[in-house]
Amino acid sequence: MADPMRIRANVDASGVTEVKVLMNHEMETGQRKDASGKTIPAWFIQNVTATHGGRTVLSAQWGPAVSKNPFLSFKFKGAQKGDKVQVTWVDNRGDKRTDEATIA
Amino acid sequence: MDAGRRDVLKAGSGVSLLALLAAAGWLKPGEAQAADWNKAAFEAKSMEETVKAFGGGTPATSKDITFFSTPDIAENGAVVPIGVASALPKTEQIAILVEKNPNMLAATFDIPAGTEPSLTTRVKMGQSSNVYALVKADGKYYVASKEVKVTLGGCGG
């Protein structure tokens, strides 16, 4: 099972919530070769979805050019302090992980 | 640390999940990849091909798309922060493309109503290159670019 994400979410006085996510993933490009010259197969997050109260607030499709241990930050309106934000990723091997953070 | 063992374990759990899904009939064999992943766009080698894969026409250059937190010179091509903001009304989608990477498209984001058209992520760059921000707003595509110099490539072995 993949390692957990670190998620931080803060709502400011104007009602805008800023979400910062740090995921743990190898993000192997499929371009590199190992010591014996064999290509290391691509292994990367393909889909990322963030939801707040069942509503999708951001969805993304990623290629292998996103950095290892990907970072993402975005802002949305309509959340209150104490609400929860969920982030899910799915990689090209079908592995997935969902983590949750409380908005501060 | 026994890194090899970890990789085997990780790989093993991934495979078994897939096998379970396949057995449950949720996935047909050979369709294990995420259904809503735009393969054509991620395999495209040029801006035209990428926009075509998204279903759009030639993008117009726009001054309403801005880069922030994006360095002029990146010391490490493996981790280049890219921030993109769009001031275009009805921004629906923001994509980040790196001109000289093997495949240009790095990431694409769908922006639902209520989410600000402004986000940050980090990408890999093989060499100094133009970075494009492609924005779909009100059904049309717009683009802006910024040159980022890389002193250490991100795709080497």
Band of residue B25 on the pLDDT scale cut at 50, 70, 90: very low
CATH number attached to the domain at A6-30+40-102: 2.60.40.10
| pLDDT for B47 | 92
The overall pTM is greater than 0.95: no
Q: Which of B21, B124, B152 to mutate to test the interface with A (most CBs of A within 10 A)?
A: B124
| pLDDT for B4 | 56
| pLDDT for B44 | 94
Chain A environment of B116 (Cβ under 8 Å): 16, 74-77
User: Taking CB atoms and an 8 Å limit, are B119 and A77 in contact across chains?
Assistant: no
Band of residue B31 on the pLDDT scale cut at 50, 70, 90: very low
Tokens encoding A43: 């292994």
CATH number attached to the domain at B39-154: 2.60.40.2470
Percentage of chain B modeled with pLDDT above 70: 75
Q: How far is CA B32 from the centre of its chain?
A: 20
Compute the nearest-CA separation of A2 from chain B (Å): 7
Residue A45 CA to residue B139 CA, distance in Å, equals 27
DSSP B3-46: HHHHHHHHHHHHHHHHHHHHHTTSS-TT--S-TT--HHHHH--S
Chain B environment of A16 (Cβ under 8 Å): 116
DSSP B73-110: EES-TTSEEEEEEE-STTEEEEEEEETTSSSSEEEEEE
Compute the nearest-CA separation of B60 from chain A (Å): 23
Domain coordinates in residue numbering, chain A: 6-30+40-102
Residue A73 pairs with which residues in a beta bridge? Answer: A20, B120
B73 residue type, one letter: I
The residue ranges of DSSP E strands in chain A, in sequence order, are: 6-11, 16-22, 45-52, 55-62, 71-77, 84-91, 96-102
Q: Which of A32, A98, A26, A94 is nearest to B12 (CA)?
A: A94
Q: What is the pLDDT of residues A71-100, one digit of tens each?
A: 999 999 999 999 999 999 999 999 999 999
Q: What is the mean pLDDT of chain B?
A: 83
Which helix or strand (DSSP H or E) is residue A3 part of? Answer: none
Residue B46 CA to residue B44 CA, distance in Å, equals 6
pLDDT at B153 over 80: no
CB B21 within 8 A of CB A94: yes
| pLDDT for A2 | 77
| pLDDT for A3 | 87
Q: What is the ipTM of this complex?
A: 0.94
Q: What is the mean pLDDT of chain A?
A: 95
User: Taking CB atoms and an 8 Å limit, are B118 and A46 in contact across chains?
Assistant: no
Q: What is the pLDDT of residues B59-118, one digit of tens each?
A: 999 999 999 999 999 989 999 999 999 999 999 999 999 999 999 999 999 999 999 999
